[in-house]
Homo-oligomer: A and B are copies of this chain.
Amino acid sequence: MNTFVLYNYFRSSASYRVRIALNLKQIRYDYKAIHLINNGGEQHSAEYGRLNPSHDVPTLVHNGKPIGQSVAIIEYLDEVETYQPLFPKDPYKRALIRQACEIVNSGVQPLGNLRPLAELSKRFGATDEQKRDWSIHWIDYGFRTLENFLVNHAGKFSFGDEVTAADCFVMAQLYAAERFNLSLEPYPTLKRIHETCSKIEAFRNAHPDYQPDSPKKT
């Protein structure tokens, strides 16, 4: 039995970030699927709420102790598993990597989440097309911000030629481009990072299409 259990959803980008980090660190874990839409959203159950008061995914349970929020989980993994560090030792470099993570995590991803999209429909009668446009607006905004930031720091990866926590966040956000069929041509640095990471097994195996709860999985 694994001591790590990840409650998550194949398509959730916050879940995808954590799966990448677990794979990079070669931590084996039990995959528990929480379907965000079926059964009215399995994350809303009282039972799940005891693990995660935000009723969202992912939740990592380690030795029976739950942690929510992808940033908190990835920092924790880096503190308890020294294999393949996701942050360097220098405090300023760590800060820049955290800044990149947060441009995704708090800067743009929350705006395209299921919850605000549902409120747009409820309050403003937003159509599917209007919700799609809203999502794409924030994705493009985030990509432009990341491009402007990472062009000064990236090598093969987001920061130089070593993988860091930033790559977990950037790659999960780039999945939004796949979902909405957006070209990465306007963001050459992000395109390069995407090409690098896509070749690495830890990233590939974390991709939404290859999870046990993905309908694409064969």
B-binding residues in A (CB < 8 A): 49, 53-56, 62, 65, 67-69, 71-73, 75-76, 79-80, 91-92, 94-96, 98-99, 101-103, 105-107, 109-111, 116, 119-120, 123-124, 126, 130, 133-134, 137, 145-146, 148-149
A98 — nearest CB in chain B belongs to which residue?
B72
> How many copies of this chain are found per oligomer?
2
Report whether B123 and A98 are in contact in the complex, using a CB–CB cutoff of 8 Å.
no
Q: How far is the CB of A26 from chain B (nearest CB, A)?
A: 19
A76 partner, pick from B80, B92, B133, beta carbons under 8 A: B92
Report whether B69 and A102 are in contact in the complex, using a CB–CB cutoff of 8 Å.
yes
Given the complex of chains A and B, what is the CA–CA distance between A101 and B73 in angstroms?
Answer: 13
Q: What is the predominant secondary structure among interface residues of chain A facing chain B?
A: helix
A54 partner, pick from B75, B96, B103, B124, beta carbons under 8 A: B103
Q: How far is the CB of A185 from chain B (nearest CB, A)?
A: 20
Top 8 nearest A-B pairs by Cβ distance?
A72-B98, A124-B124, A69-B102, A53-B149, A106-B106, A76-B95, A53-B148, A79-B91
Report whether B119 and A95 are in contact in the complex, using a CB–CB cutoff of 8 Å.
no
Q: Chain B residues near A54 (CB, 8 Å)?
A: 103, 107, 145, 149
A144 — nearest CB in chain B belongs to which residue?
B53
Q: A54-B107, A75-B95 are in contact. List 17 more A-B contacts (CB 8 A).
A: A53-B149, A54-B145, A62-B92, A67-B92, A68-B103, A69-B99, A72-B95, A72-B102, A76-B91, A79-B94, A102-B105, A106-B109, A110-B110, A111-B116, A119-B134, A119-B137, A124-B130
Q: Chain B residues near A99 (CB, 8 Å)?
A: 67-69, 72
Q: Chain B residues near A62 (CB, 8 Å)?
A: 92
Q: How far is the CB of A70 from chain B (nearest CB, A)?
A: 8
Q: Chain B residues near A65 (CB, 8 Å)?
A: 92
Report whether A98 and B75 are in contact in the complex, using a CB–CB cutoff of 8 Å.
yes
Given the complex of chains A and B, what is the CA–CA distance between A120 and B72 in angstroms?
Answer: 30
Report whether A95 and B107 are in contact in the complex, using a CB–CB cutoff of 8 Å.
no
Report whether B119 and A124 are in contact in the complex, using a CB–CB cutoff of 8 Å.
no
Given contacts A110-B106, A111-B116, A119-B134, contact A73 B95 (CB under 8 A): yes
